[in-house]
Amino acid sequence: MFVVLRIANSINKHPNFLNFKLVIMEIKVLGTGCAKCSALEKAVKEAVEKTGVTATVTKVEDIVEIMQFGVMTTPALVIDGKVVVKGKVPTVDELSKLLTS
């Protein structure tokens, strides 16, 4: 407890403390519920855990919302508003590279 308090006090005294921003990656798995869509969601969650990135993973199944991304084939993956994968399920290693690049 003492160590945590010392660290917290040190952080608060740092001149850039108020400028610190926590960056949370927003990941959306687009798919209507098919087996590939579920596989992509599972692989994405594994890749997030493997890489340690801070992210929210959301499954989007509403076809109207999916079409707003210009996606006509599922599954698809959206990272921070940009479609990065369409119509396939990448490996966990491939997804990890996408998350850290």
Which residues are catalytic, by number? 34, 37
Contact 44, 75 (CB under 8 A): no
Q: How far apart are CA 98 and CA 79, in angstroms?
A: 9
Residue type, 69: F
Among all chains, which residue has been given the structure tokens 């400028």?
A: 19
Cα gap 41→28, rounded to integer Å: 9
Q: Measured on CA atoms in the order 38, 42, 44, 45, is the torsion positive or negative?
A: positive
Asked if 46 contacts 93 with a C-beta cutoff of 8 angstroms, the reply is: no
